[in-house]
């Protein structure tokens, strides 16, 4: 996917060593890394990656990107439930037209065919 970034949008350090490998096809080792790579993909608008990492049972036909300016990610919790299920709770901050917002979600992930997939999420206040 050839994105040229130095700092990784997810806050994990250098993009080439953090989310870059996942965006270029390497499987994420756990649900937290998958979630971080998906956040970074939203920041840099990688629709193909987001759709490919979304479970086929819940995947939309397309991703609609808005005018968000993503400001940061805080992973609050990563819980593994057996070998094939996990949840990741996170808060993502962003601005639209100068107004600040936060997205607090508990995301569910499933492990199938050697890869983690985003299944769905529950928003929190």
Separation of alpha carbons 39 and 43, rounded Å: 6
Does the structure show a pLDDT above 60 at 1?
A: no
Alpha helices for 1-125 (secondary structure H): 20-23, 31-43, 47-52
What kind and span of H or E run contains 122? strand 115-124
pLDDT (tens digit per residue) in 9-55: 999 999 999 999 999 999 999 999 999 999 999 999 999 999 999 99
Q: Chain-wide mean pLDDT for the chain?
A: 95
**Overall pTM surpassing 0.75 (yes/no):** yes
Structural domains of the chain, with CATH: 20-124 (3.10.450.50)
Q: What is the DSSP letter of 17?
A: T
């Amino acid at each position: 996917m050839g994105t040229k970034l130095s700092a990784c949008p997810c806050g994990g350090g250098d993009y080439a060593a953090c989310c870059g490998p996942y965006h270029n096809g390497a499987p994420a080792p756990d649900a937290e890394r998958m979630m971080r790579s998906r956040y970074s993909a939203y920041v840099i608008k990688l629709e193909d990656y987001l759709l490919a990492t979304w479970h086929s049972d819940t995947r939309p036909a397309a991703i609609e990107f808005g005018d968000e300016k993503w400001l940061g990610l805080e992973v609050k919790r990563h819980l593994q439930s057996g070998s094939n299920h996990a949840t990741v709770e996170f808060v993502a901050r962003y601005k639209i037209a100068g107004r600040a917002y936060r997205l607090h979600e508990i995301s569910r992930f499933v492990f199938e065919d050697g890869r983690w997939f985003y299944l769905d999420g529950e928003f929190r206040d």
